Amino acid sequence: MILQRTPDGIFAIKQEDHAALAAFFLEHWSDHNFAHDPEREQIILATREHDNGWVAYDAKPRLDETTRLPVDFMHVTPDETYAVWKRAAAKYLESDPFVALLITHHGYSLHEQEHKRNPAWKAFFTEFAQLRAELRNRLTLTQPDVERAYSYLRMMDWFSLAYCLHYDLGREKPEQYAGYNFRRTGNEFLFRPYPFDAKGLRYELPVYPMRPEGYETERELAAAFKKPQVQEVLLNPLGRTR
C-alpha cells in the first residue's frame, strides 16, 4: 500500500495499481529504441506484474496502530516482505522464467542496500540470490543481460512510485533520475527530455480516499476500499525555466 498525502486529503494506492501505471509508462516509452527491443513484451509484463505479491496483502490491509491508517509498504515486517516477494517470484516460474527472473532480481535489488547486513533478512537474500542464479543459468543469460532488461523495470517503478507518493514532486526544482528531469504539477507529470511516444497521454489511476483521523478497526478500513476514485495522470514535456 502507498499513502499519498495531499492538501486535498490522504489517498491510498494499491501496489498493483502503481505497477500498472509503471507498465503504462513503459508501453509508451520511445527512448533507447525500446519499441524494437526483442524482449519488449516480457519486460512490460514483468513491470506490470512486479508487485503482484502485494495483491493479497493489499486486499486485507493491516491497520497501523499509530496512524490508524493502512500500513504502507515502507513499514511492513521482514516476514511480510519475504512472503510478498516469494509470491511475486513464484507466479511466473513455470510460464515465463524470464519474467520471474526480472521480478526476483527486483525484489533482491530493492532491499539489498538497506537490509543486506540485517540478520533478520538473511533467509530472504540467500533464497533470492539462489533463485536468481538458477533462473539466469536456465535461460543462459549473463548478469549484464539481466541488468539491461531490468533497467526499464527499475526506471518505470521509480517514476510511478515517485508520482504516487509525492503530490508536490519537484516543486522547488525538477527531480532527476536516469538522465531525466521530471516534476508533478497537479496531476500532470512532466519530463525533460520527453521519452514517450506522444504528448498528452492520459491514464486513470485508482485511488482510495482515507479518513484523516483514521479508522478504529480493520473492518472499517476494509470498507474504505470498496470503490476507488480515479486520479487522472497526464504526461507532457517539461519546459525550461529561466
- CB distance 75 to 94 below 8 Å: no
- CB distance 8 to 15 below 8 Å: no
How high is the pLDDT of residue 90?
95
Q: What is the DSSP string of 63-124?
A: BPTTTSSB--GGG--HHHHHHHHHHHHHTTTTT-HHHHHHHHHHHHHHHHHHHTT-GGGHHH
Closest CA to 73 of 62, 89, 86: 62
pLDDT-derived band at 16 (thresholds 50, 70, 90) equals very high
pLDDT-derived band at 78 (thresholds 50, 70, 90) equals confident
Q: What is the pLDDT of residues 124-142, one digit of tens each?
A: 889 999 999 999 999 999 9
* N-terminal to C-terminal alpha carbon distance within the chain: 38
Cis peptide leading into 193, omega within 30 of 0? yes
How high is the pLDDT of residue 242?
46
* Mean pLDDT of the region 178-200: 97
- Please compute, for residue 44, the number of CA atoms within 13 A of its CA located in the half-sphere on the CB side: 16
How high is the pLDDT of residue 114?
77
In the predicted model, what is the mean pLDDT of the chain? Answer: 95
Question: What is the 8-class DSSP label of residue 208?
Answer: E
Question: Count of CB atoms within 10 A of residue 137's CB?
Answer: 9
Query: What is the pTM assigned to this prediction?
Result: 0.95
Residue 70 amino acid letter: P
How high is the pLDDT of residue 241?
62
Question: What is the 8-class DSSP label of residue 216?
Answer: S
